[in-house]
Amino acid sequence: MTVLVVDDIETSRNHLVELVTDIGYHCIQAASGGEALQHIDFTHVDIVLLDLLMPDLDGFELTRQLRKRVTGTWLPIIVVSSLEGDEHFVHALAVGAADYLVKPVRPALLHAKLRHYQHVLALQAHTATLAQRQKAINETIADAILTIDSKGQVCEFNRAARQLFEAEAGADLTGRPVRELLGIGLEQLRSTAEIVHPGAGLAPPTFSLSSSEWSIGADSYCTIALHDLSAARRVERMKDEFLATVSHELRTPLTSIVGALGLLVAGAAGTLPPAAMELAAVAQRNGARLGRLIDDLLDLTKLEGKRMTLHIREASLKALLGEAVTANTGYARQLGVQLKLHTLVGAAHAPVDADRFLQVMANLLSNAIKHSPTGMTVDLRLLADPLGWRIEVADQGPGVDPEFRTRMFEKFSQADGSDQRSVGGTGLGLYISRMLVERMGGSISSSSSAGQGSVFSVVLPRLPADRPSPWVLCIARDHQELDRLATWISDLARTELVPDLVTAQALVQRIGAPTALVANPQSQGLADEFCAKLPTITAIDRIVLVGDALDDRFALRHGMRWMPHSSTSREALKTQLLTLLNEASGGASHG
């Protein structure tokens, strides 16, 4: 540490220098204020010790000038004087001195003060380093970082932010309202995760937005980081396209291979000799296995990349399990195994993706069937569980090797090949099942003891009060009309949109009847026939017809409500539906 000693009287200066040097600090000296200023300009000085009474430039003025000259860091100035009274020290502190010492300077006190300022300077240096590092990070990072004050105005920004916004504005960002830059206000920033750069040309980039709030005293600030997702999205899209292509390119030849073999085995080209039949069957089986492997790999890639969209809707587990049993009965019969469904609860609804749920059940059931000795039964049970609904698949097979059980839900895990029937698996089924069940908010587990068979359990969360929440189904051929209906209704209840009756029936079969049905018979074939089939979707008094192609008498004949297009305003339709939805919830609470 370097201390500059300034005193015009040589003996007094030498005394101070001696004291400072004795303590162990490096010392430089100046005999006048002018000389001191020169030192400051050319040498690094940490602390200044100066005499207040000097000719020409006195201690007060020197302090003032030093303060003016040394900016960026704080320089401790300790004034020294033998003057009586406190006023001159008060004056010196007022013009910028940090501290004072009375002459004759006592060594212990000097030592203590210098040590104290050394600590302060170390803290200052540390803070400066942090700030420097922070600044370097801020300026080199590719993400735009903005700090917004409580009035919603920018008070700090980095280089990337400058480039992102100034490119078009050509002005300083400080003080600009964040709403002007991002299109949303401070309140919305907190709940927004993604934002499209407003006013950025034809293909505006999407940014992920993260924010953190902090405050100094009563002032609160929000620092936000904007990360450009364009590149990541592009890669994602390329990966999707690649997957689709791979899937297509692999499946096309497989279609011919598996198809030709299937036809051969079925005798479409004449009866095969038994030995040839056996070989064709081997090829056919493995072709099918290859097909499953392609499916599994595609599922896996999508699941691991979190890019599989699950269509989660309330569904009746009973109905789905019934479907699962039907779908797997053929395979069970082939192996001489019985499949039994036991539903031990009343209505059981859970939010699931029906197709994916069936995929999980197919996996568990086929595993169980595969490992069951001929003549045995695979039991499928639906039970209530503290966490929701429990679905159990129990077999009477040899059970799972304890060593394998710990890794059976992992990727590419297969029990060793001693069991002939395990041939044909991909080692991905249980792993995919686990990921699918977890994505649906549930869990999967297994228990098994030697000779007692295995039980695989899926636990799915229950819906609140286990009553399907009200929802509205809209049938219309015209996309724009569907979109309009959706925006009108969506704040009343969940809305499902379908183009035609068949799709509607499929949906209802899967998730149950809608609370209300809005249907437009236009472009649906004969309007009379279309309307006659609507009661297969839901009760007649829950149906609202819309569209100009009909009239009052038509609706009356079918016993349904009707709202012509010309008067189908948002409010009118909402009023109609609200009545239906209220009736539904009232009715359910009585039941």
Partner 1 sequence: MDELQRVMCVEDDPDIRMILEFSLGRLGGYTLSLCASGQEALDQAARFAPQLVLLDVMMPKMSGPETLQHLRSVDCMRGVPIVFLTAKALQDDVEALLEQGATGIIVKPFDPVTLPKDIRIYWKHGRDIHP
Residues in contact with partner 1 by the rule CB under 8 A: 244, 247-248, 251-260, 262-263, 266, 268-269, 287, 291, 295, 298, 302, 309, 311, 355, 499-503, 525-526, 529
User: Following DSSP, what letter does each residue of 181-202 receive, concatenated?
Assistant: HHSS-HHHHTT-SEEE-TT--S
Q: With respect to partner 1, which residue has the nearer C-beta, 69 or 479?
A: 479
Those residues with Cβ within 8 angstroms of residue 415's Cβ, 6 or more apart along the chain or in another chain: 400, 401, 404, 408, 422
CB 538 within 8 A of CB 517: yes
* Rounded Cα–Cα distance for residues 52 and 92 (Å): 8
Q: With respect to partner 1, which residue has the nearer C-beta, 68 or 248?
A: 248
The least distance separating partner 1 from the CB of residue 269, rounded to whole angstroms, comes to 7
How many CA atoms within 13 Å lie on the side-chain side of 465? Answer: 8
Element housing 5 (H / E): strand 2-6
The least distance separating partner 1 from the CB of residue 258, rounded to whole angstroms, comes to 5
- The tokens for 103 are 């002459």
Q: With respect to partner 1, which residue has the nearer C-beta, 183 or 525?
A: 525
Q: With respect to partner 1, which residue has the nearer C-beta, 204 or 259?
A: 259
Sign of CA pseudo-dihedral 398, 403, 406, 411: negative
The least distance separating partner 1 from the CB of residue 207, rounded to whole angstroms, comes to 25
User: Residue 214's CB: how many other CB atoms inside 10 A?
Assistant: 10
The least distance separating partner 1 from the CB of residue 229, rounded to whole angstroms, comes to 20
Sign of CA pseudo-dihedral 231, 237, 241, 242: positive
The least distance separating partner 1 from the CB of residue 385, rounded to whole angstroms, comes to 28
The least distance separating partner 1 from the CB of residue 500, rounded to whole angstroms, comes to 6
Q: Which residues pair with 99 in a beta bridge?
A: 78
- The tokens for 432 are 């995919």
Q: With respect to partner 1, which residue has the nearer C-beta, 354 or 573?
A: 354
The least distance separating partner 1 from the CB of residue 395, rounded to whole angstroms, comes to 27
Q: With respect to partner 1, which residue has the nearer C-beta, 365 or 497?
A: 497
Q: With respect to partner 1, which residue has the nearer C-beta, 235 or 269?
A: 269
Q: Where does 238-365 show beta strands of DSSP type E? A: 313-316, 338-343, 349-352
Q: With respect to partner 1, which residue has the nearer C-beta, 241 or 551?
A: 241
Q: With respect to partner 1, which residue has the nearer C-beta, 287 or 442?
A: 287
Distance of CA 269 to the CA centre of its chain: 55
Sign of CA pseudo-dihedral 431, 433, 436, 439: negative
Kind of pairing between the strands at 26-30 and 2-6: parallel
Distances (CA, A) of 491 to 464, 471, 474, 496, 578: 20, 11, 15, 13, 11
- The tokens for 126 are 């540390």
The least distance separating partner 1 from the CB of residue 302, rounded to whole angstroms, comes to 8
The least distance separating partner 1 from the CB of residue 312, rounded to whole angstroms, comes to 12
The least distance separating partner 1 from the CB of residue 524, rounded to whole angstroms, comes to 9
Q: With respect to partner 1, which residue has the nearer C-beta, 295 or 379?
A: 295
